[in-house]
A and B are shown apart, each in its own frame.
Chain A
Amino acid sequence: MNTVQKGTIFVVDDDPLVRKALQRLLKSAGYFTETFPSAREFLSSGHSSEGPACLILDVKMPGLSGFDLQEELSAASYAMPIIFITGHGDIPSSVKAMKNGAVDFLSKPFEDQDLFDSISVALKKDSITRTVLSERRKIQQRLDQLTLREYEILTFIITGMLNKQTANILNISEKTVKAHRGKVMTKMGVSSVAELVRITEKLGVKPAAVSN
């Protein structure tokens, strides 16, 4: 069993019988599982994992409910995909949960295959999220290396403006612009303007506001 490949499954349910059964089922299917008796304990654990992960969450629990936890998690930059499980699924609350980004909403008792299908969707979603996040982190690290002037030149480069035009606007020599540009391209690890535009877009860097 290669748990790292399969991903990590967090289970939050106040019922020990259910927790234990799910842990056993998920383990038998090759998942690494961590279980928590309450939303609070899950939050305080830090719930970090190496590979993709998802959360199997009971709706009705004493203290913080499943929905409360979903709300809390979605406020952070990284939201783990959630599969809700409930003993008495009602349509309005499930719709709300799905709108808030839940992967699925399963009524207890559920077929193992339904759960596994949902888990595989959730993990895929999480692995994409994680890739995007790590890429953004990398780009951010590069951006952080630029000087203030270099960042300014970057915002002009991604508008597609020529060095001459940039020099005119900033009232510096074209030669200086060219030198900065070289440094920006190197520091950002890109070889073309198109590539620079693509990665800066991901971080939401705004091009210089220039009127034509």
Chain B
Amino acid sequence: MKIITKDPLQKAHDELENKFREQIEELTRVNEKLKLEIIDLKQAEPELQSIQEYLDIILFNIPVGVAILEGPEFRYFRINQVLADLNGLSVEEHLGRRLEDVLPKAALGILPNLRRVFENGEAILAREFSVRLPSNPGNEVNLVDWHFPIRVDGRIKAVCAIVMDITERKRSEKEIEKQREQLEKANQELIDYHKNLEKIVENRTTKLREEIIERKQVEDKLRKSESSLASAQRIAHLGSWEWNIPENKTIWSDEVFRIFGFAPQQFEVTYESFLDRIHPNDRSFVEEAVNRVLADSETGYNIQHRIIRPNGTERIVHERGEVKLGEDGKPARMTGTMQDLTEFKNIEAETRQLRDELAHLNRLGIIENMASAIAHEINQPLTAILSNSQAALRLLNINPPDLNEVREALTDIADADKRAGEVIRRIRTMVKKEGFHRELYNINTLIGEVIDLVQNEVVIQNISLTTNLEPRVPGIYGDKIQMQQVILNLIMNALDAVKNQPIDARHIDIATKVEDKEDVEVRVTDSGPGVDEDNIENIFNPFYTTKSHGMGLGLSVCHSIIENHGGRIWVENCSGGGAKFSFRLPFKMDDDL
């Protein structure tokens, strides 16, 4: 780069040098020729005139200033027009006159040189200097001069001065220098630019490299997150799917395949092949949910249903789905998740069973203690009564009968009976001590609160629970907590009744209605097996139970609470199966109640 920029400069310089050399050589040649001519002139005087003429022609045509100054005073012997013009005088004004007279100012600088040449015979070649000439006093001109001695017969007689105006050359040199500088600057800039470019490229490369690394990391991360998503799906038994509706192509994540009992990506999935895997009893239900979402894309679906694996085992899955509309506004894709709840359900069921057992044991414990206390308290007088009466019978049978003893026995029987009655009264007051708070409440609100309590159970057991509540039901005055207990009891019984039914036949309905303008009727209807008709009369009796667990106290407690509230409770079997428990409460309570 640098060499290339230097070339034109060097070239210009070299050209100038060459030009000079050529001119000097030319001058030297001319000089030699002049010498020879002078010799010739001396030998052939007649030719002198013509040689003189030649010389004059050369002198006056050469484009540099030439003067011959005769020593030792340095008077102008010859001067050509170029130099005369340079000095600002005519040729004639020079000839025969001393340098110091013609150019008094310039002479100071020139004379010592002339003397040196004249006295020592040395040539002074190509001395460059600048001077203000009278011809052009406003501007300094750059000159270069050569001085060399002129010998005649071996003795120095004169000094030849050749002067060349190099102002133009200097200017061009300066120009060239300037250009060179500019070039160099440009070059530097170029180099800098290049360097910059290199730096930029380097930076870009580094950046690119970093980007590549970063990208790789992102890719790695993505891959990792994909694999962790897959393992998360595996752990949670949660798969995701996407259904391209127009093409009817479905993409299942590996976990969905696993949930369905297949190897990941074992086959191409369509909507139909998905439906095929659903439990036959749940198929229409799932289709309905899907169709509902297809018709109304605003809502997704969120359902639980059963599926059948290829080996015949049944699984319970929780599925969510939502529709994405295409540009034409029609359903284009449906995406969703599927989670296998079977294990969860099993654990839930186990937990529930444990909880039930615990509750049962707890209940048994409490009731056993109470029953034992009650039994002892009651059995003592009963024993006395039975033994006394049997003794009395014996005493009557002997002859003669011991009537006094019989009388005493009967008195004791009466005492024992009174004591038994006392025990029962005591237990009653003990039970009553639990408190009876009367307040005005809304039975619909109360039912809602109880449903909230059992909601979890309802969902886990896949039971559909509906309500048909009379919107404008009058307030009821009574013990809210006790009424809550009644409703809870009836719903829990209904849950128990339906839990062994098929999954799509587990239904409970709770309804309220105003009857006869003075009662509110509450009905809890279930789709269970119904009540044994032979025992329908006993169902509200204490300790009557059809369950393998439980003491059979629930309904009897309901019965007494309802009666305490001035209402009544009854049960009937529904014509289509299941039982309906109803109770009525008056909403115009008497003041004393």
Contacts and interface: CB of A to CB of B under 8 A. Distances in A.
A75 interface: no
A88 B380 contact: no
B375 A109 contact: no
Contacts of B480: none
B412 A17 contact: yes
Contacts of A22: 387
Interface stretch (B155-163, B389-397, B471-479, B522-530): B389-397
A25 B412 contact: no
Contacts of A18: 380, 383-384, 387
Chain B contact residues, majority secondary structure: helix
B375 A87 contact: yes
A21 B372 contact: no
A16 B66 CA distance: 175
Nearest to A60: B376
A21 B388 contact: yes
Given A85-B383, A109-B382, A24 B376 contact: no
B36 interface: no
Interface in A1-33: 15, 17-18, 20-22, 24-25, 27-29
B366 to A, nearest CB: 15
A112 B383 contact: no
A199 B19 CA distance: 173
B383 A28 contact: no
Contacts of A29: 394
Contact of B379 (A24, A25, A28, A88): A88
A108 interface: yes
Contact of A109 (B387, B405, B419): B387
A17 B394 contact: no
Interface residues of A, number: 21
Interface string B359-392: 0000000000001100111011111111110110
A89 B386 CA distance: 18
Contacts of B487: none
Contacts of A60: 376
B409 interface: yes
B412 to A, nearest CB: 6
B384 A21 contact: yes
B383 A24 contact: no
A138 to B, nearest CB: 39
A20 B412 CA distance: 9
A119 to B, nearest CB: 13
Contacts of B372: 88
B376 A87 contact: yes
B390 A112 contact: yes
B415 interface: yes
B384 to A, nearest CB: 4
Given A21-B412, A24-B409, A112 B387 contact: yes
B416 interface: yes
Contacts of A17: 380-381, 384, 412, 415-416, 419
B188 to A, nearest CB: 112
Contact of B394 (A25, A87, A107, A108): A25
Interface in B399-421: 405, 408-409, 412, 415-416, 419
- Counting chain B CB atoms within 10 Å of each CB, the highest count among A15, A22, A108 belongs to A108
A36 B383 CA distance: 17
A21 B383 contact: yes
A109 B385 contact: yes
- Best-surrounded residue of A17, A22, A85 (most CB of chain B within 10 A): A17
B388 A24 contact: yes
B127 to A, nearest CB: 145
Interface of B: 371-372, 375-377, 379-388, 390-391, 394-395, 398, 405, 408-409, 412, 415-416, 419
17 contacts: A17-B412, A17-B415, A18-B383, A21-B387, A21-B391, A22-B387, A24-B391, A24-B408, A25-B391, A25-B394, A28-B394, A88-B372, A108-B379, A109-B387, A110-B386, A111-B390, A112-B387
Given A17-B415, A21-B384, A25-B390, 9 more contacts: A17-B381, A17-B419, A18-B380, A24-B388, A60-B376, A87-B380, A88-B379, A108-B382, A109-B385
